[in-house]
Structure 1
């Protein structure tokens, strides 16, 4: 039964790899509770999915779109407006909240040297604290 079904499906989809992906996706959907569009005839979900593709009761394009959207990790967001991008790039946008102290006096900008120094201080400070704690333990 499955061999004949696969041969029927190859007429709908030329690529066997895509057939496997889409039929497996449809079989998982049936397993998750989606109603089969063909009579089950005591067949397992993959066979039912192949029969649905062969009989064309499920659209191949719909399956493909559903599969692609299910595999995407990020949700597509709207593109920022061109005017907003121009303002951000020109530096005329709102001031940046700064946690590095004197950079606020410079209009929210730091030189590369100041930035590297601040990052190095952030990296060194936990190590320095643990070294001071070790020294204090040795003194006791």
Structure 2
């Protein structure tokens, strides 16, 4: 068994697509009309057949409460792996991404930073030792 899809609730699918592709560098995989919304997924350019991230409309009141609650508590909605958090942090800051936590070593050889995706979520980037 493997994870093929995960999602984050977003308050604006168009803005989310722009942020996740133009700022973070993901690639649009699916964009299919689904009523008033879209089945909109992005993938890593390094693994375009890998796990998809669904940019899911957050208009459901339960989703809104969840998204607001974890955001206010500073809990990231997702975590993305990077080879070098400090380098990624600098690159993303240059692209205008706002961070709520600068690169921080939280365990030996584990470094994280947290960014605001501008669509209602905090996202963690994480560097872990290569296996």
* Bin of the TM-score, shorter chain as denominator length: under 0.3
User: Which structure is richer in relative contact order (CA contacts within 8 A, separation 6 or more)?
Assistant: 2
TM-score between the two structures when normalised by the length of structure 1: 0.22
Higher share in helix: 1
Tell which structure's C-alpha radius of gyration is larger: 1
TM-score between the two structures when normalised by the length of structure 2: 0.23
Higher share in strand: 2
